[in-house]
Structure 1
Amino acid sequence: MATTTLYGIKNCDTVKKARRWLEDAGVNYAFHDFRSDGLSAELVQAWLETLGSAALVNKRSTTWKNLTDAQKQQAEQGDVLNLLLEHPTLIKRPVIDTGNQVQVGFKADQYAELFH
């Protein structure tokens, strides 16, 4: 089976719930912290192509609220890659990549379906 990677920020409550679920379910996974491990343009571009910017960008985040109007406008017009690389906390968390499928967010029933 492909290696599963969970992307997020270690102090995010939703990421903690996802990690706990994976551990309780016995899923072998690697954790990649946006802040300490960074993100490549290629990876973020692949997520944007797979998930779309509407699913990937967290417009309810403090980071979004602190962006300038020009930055928000840039994102609304689809130029979101550089913004996400510059502000990785704009990415909805967690992003999970099973090697076969990429999903964003955490819901226990979705994870159960993904891994069983």
Structure 2
Amino acid sequence: MRIYGLKNCDTCRAARKALPDAEFVDVRETGVLPDVMEAALAQFGDKLVNTRSTTWRGLSEEERAEAPLDLLAAHPALMKRPLIVNEDSMWLGWDAKTRSALGL
């Protein structure tokens, strides 16, 4: 299992604490493999981009209009977090639904 997120994100910290055996990948340092990002975009669509973040608010209208994969490659902190991947299953965010699906 892998958790993609930011090491200084409180939500990612909560996920890491609850899933201590999962590998953590900091998206600012390592990024997300293109095939994983494409699968996440196919599953979650526009929800993958966090439009409530300060990074989003700092973007111009032209930048916001870019394709989601290009936008996330240029600004990894825009990804809604955490993205949890376990083989063929993916979860986005750390809400009650995700925790329940993971048996927590």
TM-score (norm 1): 0.80
Q: Does 1:67 align with 2:64?
A: no
Q: After TM superposition, what 4+ stretches of structure 1 lie above 6 angstroms from structure 2?
A: none
Q: Does 1:5 align with 2:2?
A: yes
- Which of 1 and 2 has greater Rg? 1
* Matched residue, 2:36: 43
* Matched residue, 1:80: 68
Deviation of residue 109 (structure 1)? 5.2
Q: 1:26-72: CA deviations, max 9, x gaps?
A: xx21111101112233321121012112x101000011001111111
Q: Could you tell me how far apart the structure 1 residues matched to 2:2 and 2:43 are? A: 16
Q: Could you tell me how far apart the structure 1 residues matched to 2:38 and 2:32 are? A: 10
Aligned with 2:25 (options 13, 21, 32): 32
- Count of aligned positions: 104
* Matched residue, 1:16: 13
RMSD: 1.6
Q: Could you tell me how far apart the structure 2 residues matched to 1:110 and 1:48 are? A: 17
Q: Which has the higher contact order (CA 8 A, sep 6+)?
A: 1
Percent identity, please: 38
Q: Which has the higher helix share?
A: 1
TM-score (norm 2): 0.89
Q: Could you tell me how far apart the structure 2 residues matched to 1:94 and 1:37 are? A: 14
**SS of aligned partner of 2:2:** strand
Inter-CA distance 17–80: structure 2 relative to 1 (3 Å threshold): same
